[in-house]
Structure 1
Amino acid sequence: MSRIGKVLALLGVRYEVYRIMVNREPSGSAPLSLAGLRVDQLERIVPPAIDELQQLNEYAGEDSIGFGAWIDGQLVAVCWYWYGERYRRERGFIPLPDLTAKLVQVTVDPSHRGKGIAPILIAQSSRSMSHARFKALYARIWHSNTSSRTAFAKAGWSDAGSVITVKVPLLQRPFRFSVPRPHKGSKCAN
């Protein structure tokens, strides 16, 4: 934790800094592949998946679409998109217009991490979401989670900026503000 973070924590101030990734053209997601890897839609995670993946069944249900990645018949990664009322009711971190969804969870079996599975799952599921008529997809990633940000970038998603939330003691509502990413070529981007 940074010095500023430690001082804020001592004062009881909590903060969150997330990067927002977006895919505004899901049908054009990066054409990534890995020999023996298959990505398909799933409704529920069934044994013999590892416990870490099985626990993700809580993401299934109304207004959700899940995808799994399999190698030799073994489930090795899962991601879930939420949209509509489910997202508004349970998360609502960013406003989602109609025909948009948020990728709320991506998990790769620890024994398969570092093999490039996450970007393939993200890219192929993005294309499937496009076929389901979704026009834009979003994800929220903790600002220092560089491996997740890299996976989304490899899958063809772009960094839309940051959302910062500050929770101050004695105030009922947190402060939340967005910091858009500067466009290429602008003075701020250089």
Structure 2
Amino acid sequence: MTTTPLYVPQPTGDLCQSACIAMALGTTDVFGIRSDLEAIAASQGAELTGDPSVMGEYLTSRVSSYKFLLDGSLNDAKEALNSGCIVITHGWFTYPGHIILLFGDEPDMRTMSYRFMLHDPNGEYDFPSGVYDTSTSGANMRYSSYGLYATCVASLDYDHARDIYSGKRLDSSLKNAWLHIIKN
């Protein structure tokens, strides 16, 4: 497991990718990162600063090791974390989607599975209700493998993620998540 990264909250609803990159780089310059992402997006003709290729272009020259998986699994994320990397991933935590930073995993005796240790720049997410508590810090959260499977791997959108989570399904080897794997 890597050292716990600096926690940086997203100052507005559309800056989750910039906050996660700031955490990965150990800075708080969310607005500077956003400005750089906007410039990269414009040069690529991308619509969103959270586009994985935009984020990848920004990260590649700023970290010691970078790998991107467009079809990653929870097993891939765990392997990266256990190799001392951090992982930035996208999930359907909100209708437009949301980005979080994973920094570890651990056994979850309550579910007889595992859970991820992470920073969620939007606060604390409640999987059963599908709602954020934005008044709570998202630092050092523990999210279940079932929750991340539903939101980050198996779903097509927010509502689909809720359906998958309510069924408590989990396939840690399913490859359908995008993972930015980073080592500094």
What TM-score comes out, normalization by structure 1 length? 0.24
TM-score normalised according to structure 2 size: 0.25
Q: Name which structure has the greater RCO, CA cutoff 8 Å, separation 6+.
A: 1
